Amino acid sequence: MPSVSMVVNGRQVSGEVEGRTLLVEFLREQLRMTGTHVGCDTSQCGACVVHVNGESVKSCSIFAMAASGAEVATIEGVANADGTLSVLQQAFQDHHGLQCGFCTPGMVMSAADLLKINPNPSETEVREWLEGNICRCTGYHNIVKAILSAAATLRGEAVAAE
Amino acid sequence: MAKDEVSASAVGAPMKRREDVRFLTGKGSYTDDMNRPGQSYVVFLRSSVAHGVIRTLDVEAAKASEGVLAVYTHRDIEADGLGGVPCGWEITQSDGSKMVEPAHPILASGKVRHVGDPVVAVIAETKAQARDAAEKITLEIDALPAVVDMRSAETAGAAVHDEAPNNVCYDWDFGDKEKTEAGFAQAAHVTTLEFTNNRLIANAMEPRACIGEHDAAGDRYTLITTSQNPHVIRLLMGAFVLNIPEHRLRVLAPDVGGGFGSKIYHYAEEALVTWASKKVGRPVKWTADRSESFISDAHGRDHVTKAELAMDAEGKFLALRADTMANMGSYLSTFAPCVPTWLHATLLAGQYTTPAIHCRVRAMFTNTVPVDAYRGAGRPEATYLLERIINKAAAELGLDQAEIRRRNFIRPDQFPYETPVALTYDTGDYLATLARVMTMADYAGFEARRQEAAGRGKLRGLGLSCYIEACGIAPSSLVGALGARAGLYEAATVRVNPTGSVSVFTGSHSHGQGHETTFAQVVADQLGIPADSIEIVHGDTDRIAFGMGTYGSRSLAVGGSAIVGAIEKIVAKAKRIAAHLMEASVDDIVFEDGQFKVAGTDKAKAFAEVSLAAYVPHQYPIEELEPGLEETSFYDPKNFTYPAGSYLCEVEVDPDTGVIDIVGMWAADDFGKVINPMIVEGQVHGGLAQGLGQAFIEQCVYDANGQLPSGSYMDYAMPRADDLPSFAVETDLVGTPCTHNPLGVKGCGEAGAIGSPPALVNAVVDALKPYGVQHMDMPLTPQKVWTAIDAATPKMAAE
């Protein structure tokens, strides 16, 4: 089997994969990084979103080989260096933006990419951005609130209490 | 404890969820995240046709395929004498006979009955190898005519099961038929509504998965599974399928990524991996692909109903009659038979004083995936029936949709209220929730908004829905009389550890509901200790005495009440220990703020001092009092709980495209006492999204051959963020606490999904009033809406 190497959350990793091995399978099965989830088989649900070279990508839609040499970031690498939650993660907790938690890693990774591209999104822009991330628990209401709140915090604005 | 600690975890405070940190950092532990040493993988070859006889099944090439450990068919299951998948509820038909209950084999035996029916299990070193091997199986099926549309199932000329030649599982009725007919005889006006309640797929984001493992040394099995009720799986699978006694079978349901009903049931895959783990001597893991979930998870709803409402000239309800056909699918799933009957017909009084009700239900077998309880289960169907026919009646009588309801509400002074369909509502205030939601939505200002929208060429509509549900399932003797094969109480053990921390073992199971937080709030409140020193343990049959699990909005009302029962025993015993320590009479001990005090003195012992004395005492009256501080309690609810509320939905329809824009969704719910309002509102949000999804986009579609075109997220319309509005939800303004459980709580998990579908449909029908539209079946897709507008337009032009 061919070998593949990449940088995941700042760590150099390598492994043997089949040509058909997906990036998400490489992360979950070989690296045992199970924070990235698989919720569908048609690249619709977004539970598997990671960043590849700084952009959000559904890791079920790319072969591990195709990520060879790439910088990959996953949910496991999002928290602050001291282990506390990042601003975005904290906003999800503060606003009850998750219930069962299964879609959450993909939501956080997707939202992080949005806030990088658009630090001041409107509610409509957040909702449209999340079109590729399905949540069955929250009705999105609190996810949207969390992302808008995190955006305000990251812009340095005071956020009104709940 | 410090004051801010108390306020953060106090009952009624929006305490942040303690489970969130692991989920937000990728440290959740879902079944597919787990891997057991030496684990192998199973892939199922499933039927690609809806109905047929297996002519050829050749698995030799698969057995020889690389990495394959075993290939199993029904023959292997039969050789080991395994049972089929059991059903947990038996319905007695109107003629006194029992429902038809066909066998449900683990792997198809001779015949396949739905697309997705598992036929062969292939176990290999890797999932890819198992999949490759499954490709090498020769499976030839002689197709039989598929029974797909239940409306014609009786005369389809094909039988899903030989024992039900007309495809009728049961023909059942409930209520007072004669009294109902008498009500219709007196009626000044009768409104009739025929409708379908569309078939849905639960689609929890985590696909089902399970791992079976056999420990040969102790002949002990472990099943890790995506379940809402691990003890029920242990009972059903151990006793009825695999013949494994409880002490040799552990069932774990770790972090579970949503359920909504679909993970209540015992599924064939769970039995297969458990059984096969011993056969192959290796752990066996199965994880569904989403495509596989679509054709193997139990589906929901799927009713066809004709309803009639008899009224006097003032719109006062005199009688209600309903005739429903309910799809059971190809086999009877665990709770399926009770959903259209006892969870549906009994709710047909709604919030109203209708004196006579009669409901007939025919349950049909079809060549489709089994149908079972999905968020709300029977109660959304009942609510949709009532709330739609009431709006149609209001339109026919020229009454305001709120006014017709007010004229018929059960009034606050009428509780406890006995309905004509067997339930006794303990408490409620329907006028209050209605008034509240009308204020929230600025009901009075709607006509101005309608006109403003009309100026922009848009059609605005406002739809009301007033739901009630029966939760907290269920009083065991009652459900036993109704056909449940098990009582439905809940169990909890509270263990006070020696240094005063507390472990709570609950039979409820959290798969998104936040029990680890809410239950800790309850215990912290009752014991006066910080929530941080309390752990909530769930989902493990080895650690938890017993449980019936989480569904039917029962966790806090039933599981929480069991916890309270255990705490009461703990406090009673701790008081005796404290009395001994302080040389006082037990009658003089009071327990407050986490301290045991001798009344009228300054003597006190902290909670942790008493707990330490319970475990490692030097001087102890062991003759009178056993050491240790751990108690178990079983709680059997005395009645159902009856959460209720009023919902308003406002839509704007684009007449050129038929696209519906949901511009407002307001919910005023009465859940009784609320422990954590943040979590409760979140439950309502999720329910609303699912209910609105049913009403305007979701539809499980089978074609005439029994194929499932809506078998992926490309084809089944899951609500996305940009389909939905922000919601306005108020849950704590009009509470009437439940009168018969110690927490006063009613349950909130299903309300949103129950109340919102008729609100949206009522709103759209209201918007299309100028076109003479009286009803449209869900989902209200743009095509359906546009077609209705288009069909009415020439007529309008002619007028």
DSSP structure string for B277-329: HHHHTS-EEEE--HHHHHTTS-EE--EEEEEEEEE-TT--EEEEEEEEEEEEE
Q: Which residue of B has its CA nearest to A31?
A: B33
Range name among A133-137, B5-9, B345-349 with the lowest pLDDT average:
B5-9
- Longest CA–CA span in chain B (Å) reads 98
Q: Are B721 and A133 an interchain contact pair (Cβ–Cβ within 8 Å)?
A: yes
Is A71 in the same domain as A96?
no
Same domain, A49 and A92: no
Q: How confident is the model at residue B442 (pLDDT cuts 50, 70, 90)?
A: very high
- Residue A145 in domain: yes
Mean pLDDT for chain B overall: 96
Phi-psi region of A96 (alpha: psi -120 to 50; beta: other; left: phi over 0): left
Could you tell me which of B288, B287, B282 has the C-alpha nearest to residue B36? B282
What is the structure's pLDDT at B734?
61
Q: Which fold has domain B299-473+639-798?
A: Aldehyde Oxidoreductase; domain 4 (3.30.365)
Between chains, do A45 and B713 touch, taking CB under 8 Å as contact? yes
Give start-end residues of each CATH 3.30.365.10 domain in chain B.
3-27+489-635, 299-473+639-798
Query: Is A82 within the bounds of a domain?
Result: no
CA distance B781 to chain A (A): 18
Q: Determine the residue of chain A that is closest to B32 in CA distance.
A: A34
Please give the pLDDT value at position B77.
96
CA B6 and chain centroid, separation? 33
A157 CA: distance to closest CA in chain B (Å): 22
Q: What is the CATH number of the domain that holds A34?
A: 3.10.20.30
**B540 has a pLDDT exceeding 90:** yes
Residue of B17, B21, B726 with shortest CB distance to A96? B17
Q: In what order do the strands lie in the sheet with B317-329?
A: B168-175, B357-365, B317-329, B303-311, B189-197
Question: Does A130 share its domain with A103?
Answer: yes
Q: Are residues A22 and A58 in the same domain?
A: yes
Q: Tell me: do A12 and A68 sit in the same domain.
A: yes
CB–CB contact A37 B14 (8 Å): no
Contact A101 B22 (CB under 8 A): yes
pLDDT (0 to 100) of residue B512: 95
Residue A159 covered by a domain: no
Cα B24 → chain centroid? 25
* Nearest CB to A93 within list B16, B513, B686: B16
pLDDT for the residue numbered B623 = 87
**End residue of a domain, out of A16, A43, A77:** A77
Question: Hey, what amino acid is at B43?
Answer: V
* Residue B657 pLDDT exceeds 60: yes
Cis peptide before B794 (omega within 30 of 0): no
Beta-carbon neighbour count of residue B160 at 10 Å? Answer: 29
What pLDDT was estimated at residue B713?
97
Q: In this predicted model, what pLDDT tens digit does every residue of B66-116 receive, in sequence order?
A: 999 999 999 999 999 999 999 999 999 999 999 999 999 999 999 999 999
pLDDT band of B43, cuts 50, 70, 90: very high
* Residue matched to tokens 């060549």: B367
For residue A138, which residues of chain B lie inside 8 Å, CB to CB? 682, 685-686, 689
Q: Is the pLDDT of residue B361 over 70?
A: yes
Contacts of A33 in chain B (CB under 8 A): 26
In a shared domain, residues A70 and A97:
no
How far apart CA B212 and CA B222 sit, in angstroms, is 6
Q: For chain A, what is the domain count?
A: 2
Q: Which residues of A touch B727 (CB under 8 A)?
A: 139, 141
CA torsion A23-A26-A27-A30 (nearest 10°) is 180
Positions of chain A with pLDDT lower than 70, given as ranges: 158-162
B683, closest residue in chain A (CA to CA): A138
For A125, name the nearest residue in chain B, comparing CA atoms only: B722
**Residue B273 phi/psi, 5° resolution?**
-65, -35
Domain assignment of residue A36, given as a range:
3-77
Residue B353 pLDDT exceeds 90? yes
Residue in B333, B435, B340 with CA at minimum distance from that of residue B381: B340
Give B733's pLDDT tier (boundaries 50, 70, 90): low
* Contact residues, chain A, for B23 at CB < 8 Å: 98, 101, 104-105
Judge contact between B692 and B779, C-beta under 8 A.
Answer: no
Question: Which of A8, A40, A63 would best serve as a mutation to test chain B binding (most B beta carbons within 10 A)?
Answer: A40
Question: DSSP assignment of A38-96, as one string?
Answer: ---SSS-S-TTEEEETTEEEETTSSBTGGGTT-EEE-GGG-S-TTSPPPHHHHHHHHTT
Q: In the prediction, which pLDDT does B715 show?
A: 97
Q: What is the pLDDT of residue B478?
A: 86
Structure tokens at B254: 């770790």
Report whether B372 contacts B298 (CB < 8 A): yes
Residue A27 lies in a domain: yes
Residue B696: list chain A partners with CB under 8 A: none
Q: Which amino acid is at A156?
A: G
**Angle of CA points B561, B495, B473, to nearest 5°:** 20
Q: Examine residue A117 and state whether it is found in any structural domain, yes or no.
A: yes
Which among B698, B69, B101 has a CA at the least distance from the CA of B370?
Answer: B101
pLDDT tens per residue, range B143-197: 999 999 999 999 998 999 999 999 999 999 999 999 999 999 999 999 999 999 9
CATH number for the domain spanning A148: value is 1.10.150.120
Which contiguous run of DSSP H or E holds residue B151? Answer: none
- pLDDT confidence of B798, banded at 50, 70, 90? low
**A29 and A70 together in one domain:** yes
Domain topology for B34-144+205-258+263-294: Aldehyde Oxidoreductase; domain 3 (3.90.1170)
Mean pLDDT of B40-60: 98
A140: chain B residues, CB-CB within 8 Å:
685, 689, 720-721, 724
User: Would you give the end-to-end CA distance of chain B in angstroms?
Assistant: 75
Q: Which pLDDT score, from 0 to 100, does residue A161 have?
A: 46
CA dist B150 and B358 (Å) reads 22
Instruction: State how far the Cα of B54 lies from the Cα of B110, in Å rounded to an integer.
Output: 5
The pLDDT value given to residue B474: 82
Residues in chain A within 8 Å Cβ distance of B695:
none
Q: Nearest CA to CA, how far is B82 from chain A (Å)?
A: 32
The tens digit of pLDDT for each residue in B665-704 reads: 999 999 999 999 999 999 999 999 999 999 999 999 999 9
SS3 B627: coil
Same-domain pairing of A110 and A131: yes
Chain A / chain B CB contacts < 8 angstroms: 183
Residue range(s) of every CATH 3.90.1170.50 domain in chain B? 34-144+205-258+263-294
Same domain, A12 and A72: yes
**Do both A14 and A52 map to the same domain?**
yes
> Model confidence at B799, in pLDDT bands (50, 70, 90)?
low
**What topology is assigned to B3-27+489-635 in CATH?**
Aldehyde Oxidoreductase; domain 4 (3.30.365)
**Whole-number Å distance between alpha carbons of B159 and B166:** 6
pLDDT tens-digit map of B228-286: 999 999 999 999 999 999 999 999 999 999 999 999 999 999 999 999 999 999 999 99
Query: What letter would DSSP give residue B409?
Result: B
Q: Hey, which residues does B604 pair with through a beta bridge?
A: B597
The candidate with the shortest Cα–Cα distance to B506, out of B552, B557, B551, B546, is B546
**Listed residue (B282, B288, B332, B324) closest to B305, CA to CA:** B324
Tokens 């495509």 locate to: B291
**Chain A CB contacts of B512 below 8 Å:** 99-101, 137
Per-residue pLDDT band for B795 (boundaries 50, 70, 90) equals low
> Does residue B618 have a pLDDT over 90?
no
Best A24, A100, A133 residue to mutate vs chain B (most B CBs within 10 Å): A100
Query: Does residue A8 share a domain with residue A72?
Result: yes
Classify burial at A1, counting beta carbons within 10 Å of its beta carbon; exposed 0-12, middle 13-18, buried 19 or more.
Answer: exposed
What is the ipTM score, two decimals? 0.97
pLDDT of A162:
44
- Closest Cα in chain A, distance from residue B690 (Å): 8
